Amino acid sequence: MTETALQTLQRKLCPWLRPPLSRLESAYAAERLGHAWLIAGARGVGKLNLALVFARRLLERRRPTEEPPDLAAAEAVAALRDRHLPADHHPDLHWLFPEEDKTAVSVEQVREAAAVLNLKAHAGGAKVVLLERADGMTTAAANALLKTLEEPSLDTYLLLLADQPNRLPATIRSRCQRLAIAGPNRAELAAWLGVAADRFAAAWVLTGGSPLQIAALIQDDKINETSNLESQVELISEDKAGVQAVASAWAKADPELALTWLTRELHREIRARLTSKSVTDLERPALHNALTLRRLFEQYERADRLLGQLGSGINVELGLQALLIGFQASRGST
């Protein structure tokens, strides 16, 4: 019988996630496991994989007798893409994620989960709430969750996953134990991917070293996506490409990936300007020659703000259009 995406993510583990899993299991074994955990880490580092593996152990009330097998790169990419497909799961696992065509977990979802938590567990044991993209909750949803955090029902555990934990209200952060997840280094990632490190050098910069994003880029044969994004911005800066078309393409593809790349490029260029690095030493003149230093700072702030607003319900395409207009040649010299 074919294993579902959920079963794969519950049973296997990305190898760099073993230390944080060990920390959770040690706290549980010592009866020091708080009822709420904020699992924080960059996008694509494997937070969901870690949470599902640990949630399964909480629900089954069993101490691990052996380490979970490694989750291979190809398995990880496929499972994460299919993770929201309908599948049977433990009745006491309440997994919240943005509904179809939505960008954030709603207050209705949180209230429904809170109501269920007040009932007796179906299996007579623990109850687990797993909140994917907790940092993208609406304000109303965050307020509803706060009530559950303040008055948790017996034997209930909440696992909040956040790419940008500081976007969560301080009242929620203060009621959670925090677990920061780090990704593998280049050598460890190369071993997991089964490719030489130089093959994903550009993708490493593009994603900030995100292992699962890099694995997906390799699988989709988009490992050179950096050059595509760079070319599009360069064409805009030369008035050879329309802002609306590029913004639409970015919004439909992966706006978070594009904005991550752009903020890193702008930040790198600002640092180079401030340290008086020669323009001839720089790799990407499209961002360097077309913009004044003041404009670079403005564009960086816009890109970083838009990146932080993803998942909050903002119109991403319009936001990208407003940002990309700032790279047009007619505006870049002001």
CB atoms within 10 A of CB 305: 14
Are β-strands 36-40 and 93-96 bridged in parallel, bridged antiparallel, or unpaired?
unpaired
CA neighbor of 3 nearest in space, from 91, 67, 78, 66: 78
Report pLDDT for 279. Answer: 46
Structure tokens at 188: 């460890």
Task: Kindly compute the dihedral angle of the four CA atoms of residues 136, 144, 47, 20, in this order, to the nearest 10 degrees.
Answer: 140
Give residue limits of the domains in the chain. 5-180, 224-332
DSSP state of 227: H
pLDDT per residue as tens digits for the range 21-54? 999 999 998 888 999 999 999 989 999 999 999 9
Alpha carbons within 13 A on the beta-carbon side of 104 = 19
| pLDDT, average across residues 235-253 | 90
pLDDT per residue as tens digits for the range 272-292? 888 865 444 444 545 655 688
Rounded CA-CA distance 8/291 in Å is 47
Q: What is the mean pLDDT of the chain?
A: 87
CATH T-level fold of 5-180: Rossmann fold (3.40.50)
